[in-house]
Amino acid sequence: MNELKVGLPAPDFSLPTTDGSMIRLSQYRGKKVVLYFYPKDNTPACSKQAQAFAAAFDQIGRLGAVILGVSRDPIASHAKFTAKLGLPFQLLSDAHEEICRLYKAMKEKNMYGKTVMGIERSTFIINEQGVLTHEFRKVKVSDHLEQVLEVLKPMDNVIH
């Protein structure tokens, strides 16, 4: 697997999706990919983030990109979350945290006085050639969609 670094090919992976199929990141060559990692289905911030991406789904598609959401939740949870919010894109289940770790999205968090490992809200933009062009860490849901759209609009394989 590849090293995770802007300007290098994004590490490929295969995960199960909401619709029960398996997808590989490499199958999206020729399109931009908005790959986002989020902590948990049916939580307020994760719901707000998913709804923002859903609202911009057509616009992101017109910019030549697909959206893929990743969390540790099982497919059954993803299916309920997708149905509840009417999400038009696939959610991927990384139950064993392999891809979360590969993309360095697993971080120590302090929850109720205990240190736990959890997903840090992160987004990666991958260009049509499969190269990682942008990464967003410690994502704040409130302005994140605008950041993603800004990156996708002028994206001519420029690496920032």
Whole-model pTM?
0.91
pLDDT, position 135? 96
Domain containing residue 83: 14-152
Establish if 5 belongs to a structural domain.
Answer: no
CATH of the domain at 85: 3.40.30.10
Mean pLDDT by 10 residues, the chain (160 residues): 84 94 96 97 95 96 96 96 97 96 90 84 96 94 92 63
> 3-class DSSP state for residue 103?
coil
Helix or strand (DSSP H, E) at 32: strand 32-37
Establish if 82 belongs to a structural domain.
Answer: yes
Give the total number of structural domains in the chain. Answer: 1
Euclidean distance between the first and the last CA atom of the chain, given in angstroms as a whole number: 23
Question: To which residue do tokens 């690496």 refer?
Answer: 159
Question: Which residues are part of the catalytic machinery?
Answer: 46
- 109, 119 contact by CB (below 8 A): no
